[in-house]
Amino acid sequence: DIQMTQSPASLSASLGETVTIQCQASEDIYSGLAWYQQKPGKSPQLLIYGASSLQDGVPSRFSGSGSGTQYSLKISSMQTEDEGVYFCQQGLKYPRTFGGGTKLELK
């Protein structure tokens, strides 16, 4: 199975601050990566797919980048509504696997 490792496990950011979350795959996943946001008591929401494509309706302050085994999610200007847990997911092979999550809080 492809292991997905996220870092950091948690972080806090001030309003307007730039936030970056990392995701490392145990093997090359050829940009087959998605990012999700999950708020307490809710289901995950797809933010980014194909490593860098923004899902419809997602604010443009979210962006994704990376290749090979290293990927990142950037929030260019932290907003209150961005609090939550962020997960990466590889879409290259079965079983589909997720990162352990990064909890983002407002400072």
Q: Is 32 in the site for another protein (CB under 8 A)?
A: yes
Applying CB under 8 A, which of residues 34, 40, 66, 81 lies at the interface with another protein? 34
Q: Is 50 in the site for another protein (CB under 8 A)?
A: yes
Q: Strand, helix or coil at 78?
A: coil
Q: Is 106 in the site for another protein (CB under 8 A)?
A: no
Q: Considering CB under 8 A, how many residues would be counted as binding another protein?
A: 23
Return d(Cα 15, Cα 78) in angstroms, integer: 5
Q: Is 101 in the site for another protein (CB under 8 A)?
A: yes
Binding site for another protein (CB under 8 A): 32, 34, 36, 42-46, 49-50, 55, 87, 89, 91-92, 94-101
